Amino acid sequence: MLWLVNTSLKQVHIDDVALSDLRQLAIGAFAPLKGFMEEADYDSVCDHMRLRDGSPWPIPVTLPTSSDIAATLHLDERIALIGPDGRMHGTLTVTSIYKPDLEREAHRVYRTNDLRHPGVKRLLQRGDVYLGGPVELLVPDDDPLFAPYLFTPEQTRAEFARRGWKTVVGFQTRNPVHRAHEYIQKCALETVDGLYLNPLVGPTKQDDIPAPVRLKAYLAILEHYYPRDKVFFGVYKAAMRYAGPREAVMHALVRRNFGCTHFIVGRDHAGVGDYYGPYDAQHIFSEFAPGELGITPVFFENAFYCKACSGMATSKTCPHGDDQRIILSGTRVRQMLSEGIAPPPEFSRPEVVKVLMAYYAQRT
């Protein structure tokens, strides 16, 4: 059976982030990458947000290991990649072994070396040597919960074509969809043929709402508030980097690979804490030539419910002050839910609130 360890190959154990990257590399979600980055691509991406051939790519996709393990490996050697579950999930043909400057990578990619940043913390804990080379996936993702919603780029492109969609806007989130998300998705949907709602359900930080709970919330809001013939739902089982601006570009490129022509970038996309300005993730797209990314970013300001307007709006369309605007931070919403207090319907649909309150109730 494919999942059994092939003892003829040297084994390298990989974490859940590397496993998720392996899967995305194998299905083509990270195209043009075909494997974990070699040193030349890694250096170019860190410094210039481009692969060595000039192709745009903003974040290193690397396979960390320890110095001791790296010392046992040789170039052109094929090794077994062993996942956290002990199974052999794939192989790597080693074409590069190198020691990265992790402090430099943190500063370039995350714009900080602060260990309180979850992306930086993870980066500095994973390993001090990188292995690069093409990969082969041996075990497809067999998670029964997400299996019905896992698609390859080849499958999504075929589905969009079957539906006759020539223009498709992609939306990324790691949180339950609230009214502001819904508003900007539907605004974008007014201008294209279809919406690809593609939430990230891979490894995230510990205090994020678990992916199975979020899946229930996504399905609940889709059932009641979205036109079924205009929306396609699939999950993106990749790791969250929390890299703000650079990750916004990466998310756009991935959705390009899935067949989207447009990609929504809202306030503080892929951000965490106050490490990035609220619209830095939009400004970064100006560093690429028009059309270079192969997908059109669609920018939105922060959306909210205005009591005076009696509807959703942004500062572009609403003349009223903060006293009329219902804006809740993620921290405040989690606090309300943990205290058994339902966020108002102006912030989140009741079907979504019901799912979240049930989760928080069982935690206490």
Query: Which active-site residues does the annotation give?
Result: 174-175
Angle at 357 between CA 353 and CA 362, to 5 degrees: 155
Q: β-pairing, 304-306 with 325-326?
A: antiparallel
Give the span between the Cα atoms of 91 and 133, in whole angstroms.
Answer: 10
| DSSP of 231-288 | EEE-BB-------THHHHHHHHHHHHHTT-SEEEE-TTTT--TTSS-TTHHHHGGGGS
The answer to whether the beta carbons of residues 143 and 23 sit under 8 Å apart is: no
The set of residues, in sequence order, having a beta carbon less than 8 Å from that of 140 and lying 6+ positions away, is: 23
Give the span between the Cα atoms of 121 and 301, in whole angstroms.
Answer: 30
Amino acid letter, residue 349: R
Angle at 300 between CA 295 and CA 306, to 5 degrees: 155
Give the span between the Cα atoms of 109 and 31, in whole angstroms.
Answer: 19
Q: What six digits make up the tokens of 309?
A: 């307007």
From residue 293, how far is each of 28, 50, 65, 154, 296 by CA, in Å? 16, 11, 31, 19, 8
Residues shown for the chain: 364
The set of residues, in sequence order, having a beta carbon less than 8 Å from that of 20 and lying 6+ positions away, is: 202, 203, 237, 238, 239
Report which of 220, 218, 118, 124 is spatially closest to residue 177, judged by C-alpha positions.
218
Peptide bond into 32 cis (omega under 30): yes
Residue 96: beta bridge partners? 132
Find the helix or strand (DSSP H, E) in which 334 lies: helix 330-338
